[in-house]
Amino acid sequence: MSKWTDQLPEAAREYIGNRRVDEVECVIGDIAGVARGKAMPAAKFAKQTNYFLPNSIFLQTITGEWADNPFDAFTEPDMFMVPDFTTATAAPWTADVTLQVIHDAMDQEGNPIPYSPRNVLKKIVQLYNDQGWTPVVAPEMEFFLTARNIDPNMPVEPPMGRSGRRAAGKQAYSLSAVDEYGKVIDDIYDYAEAQGLEIDGILQEGGAGQIELNLEHGDPVRLADDVFFFKRLIREAALRHDCFATFMAKPIAGEPGSAMHIHTSVVETRSGKNIFSEKKGEATESFFHFIAGLQNHLTGAIAVLAPYVNSYRRYVKDHAAPINLEWAYDNRTTGIRVPLSGPSARRVENRLAGMDYGTVISATKVNTYVF
């Protein structure tokens, strides 16, 4: 193997096996969570020392328009793209052997671009590390499988299931309902295994063709990368079976919306002790400060958690979406929920974020910057 392939994670090396890597995708996630970057032959990637993209990728909106540049004139200078080989993973839906590698965005002096979402998250995680703490997150991804829709003037419809009928709603947690599109689920599992991504569980949500995919808890930056990869993976799996996957907050009128629930806890880095729990198992002051911080700051962050007009169609009473900033134990009608758990797993669930914001980066940033 060449030098750069020796730096790859085990799952990527296993995917390559004895084959030749044909292509490498140099990827950066923008503010909206869209994969930006460039693809190149693996032979060129191995030789090239510098990779560039204009900083304007962080100014382009989801509709392709341009936001005002709050930092400088709109001259589109180049950024350095620095590969993070710990993120290297397969693109198993491609015809040849292709790898994806997330890159960090740096300016021409080698400093992190301050408005790159991944750099922002790293900075906030470091603030926790400076206190001797480690934030831990666990995201829940909700999304819809829909029939192919190539006419934007036509309403979105659920996909055809294996029974020959369109998927029906109001079947939350039904195993029969999720089996209707079992082939898509099978490909999601296969792709995730090839990419070295862990799935904690998959279930049928309350909407027609709506699925929830849960990820294992862990490091915020790694989980942000995983959600970024999962969105692309899920879309590709759906396309193989003649349907679309959408992460819009409210793609179908009259159906529940799709959220990104973020479970967050904080542990002492040295001891691994959950700072939300006392030795006797009672909640600590830090736990209540964390909740108070969320209640105080979430209103200012709502443009991040609900970035589009469609986002607010999800916040409807009696449609499994929070419409308040109250908190409670084991109560899914509140914006901030404390799930049932033992003292070591005490955590806070932010239920406000929709699935349509950029990545878990944004919600993790809001969740962790509250003390």
- pLDDT single digits (tens) 236-270: 999 999 999 999 999 998 899 999 999 999 999 99
In this predicted structure, the answer to whether residue 357 has a pLDDT above a threshold of 90 is no
The answer to which of 168-172, 289-293, 334-338 has the lowest mean pLDDT is 168-172
Task: State the average pLDDT over residues 11-27.
Answer: 95
CA 200 to CA 198: how far, in whole Å? Answer: 6
Name the band, by pLDDT with cuts 50, 70 and 90, for residue 363. very low
> Which of 248, 39, 27, 199 lies closest to 118, judged by CA?
27
Higher-pLDDT residue of 217, 75: 217
360-368 and 220-239 helices, crossing angle to 10°: 150
Predicted pLDDT at 75? 78
Distances from the Cα of 14 to the Cα of 50, 76, 192, 193, 217, angstroms? 27, 39, 13, 11, 24
In this predicted structure, the answer to whether residue 19 has a pLDDT above a threshold of 70 is yes
Predicted pLDDT at 359? 56
Contact call for residues 264 and 136 (beta carbons, < 8 A): yes
Predicted pLDDT at 32? 87
Q: Report H helices in the chain.
A: 10-16, 42-47, 117-130, 175-179, 182-195, 220-239, 285-297, 302-305, 360-368
The helices-and-strands tally (H runs, E runs) of the chain is 9, 14
What domains appear along the chain, each with residue ranges and CATH number?
Answer: 4-113 (3.10.20.70), 129-368 (3.30.590.10)
Element (DSSP H or E) covering residue 100: strand 98-106
Name the band, by pLDDT with cuts 50, 70 and 90, for residue 162. confident
CA 107 to CA 78: how far, in whole Å? Answer: 8
Task: State the average pLDDT over residues 184-190.
Answer: 97
In this predicted structure, the answer to whether residue 362 has a pLDDT above a threshold of 50 is no
Rg (CA), the chain: 21
In this predicted structure, the answer to whether residue 361 has a pLDDT above a threshold of 90 is no
> Which of 105, 118, 94 lies closest to 24, judged by CA?
94
Quote the longest CA-to-CA distance of the chain. Answer: 59
Question: Pairing relation of β-strands 98-106 and 23-29?
Answer: parallel
Distances from the Cα of 336 to the Cα of 76, 255, 298, 318, angstroms? 40, 22, 10, 16
Phi-psi domain of 17 (left: phi exceeds 0; alpha: psi -120 through 50; beta: other):
left
Predicted pLDDT at 353? 92
40-70 tens-digit pLDDT? 999 999 998 888 999 888 888 888 888 877 7
Helix, strand, coil percent content, the chain, rounded in steps of 5: 30, 25, 45
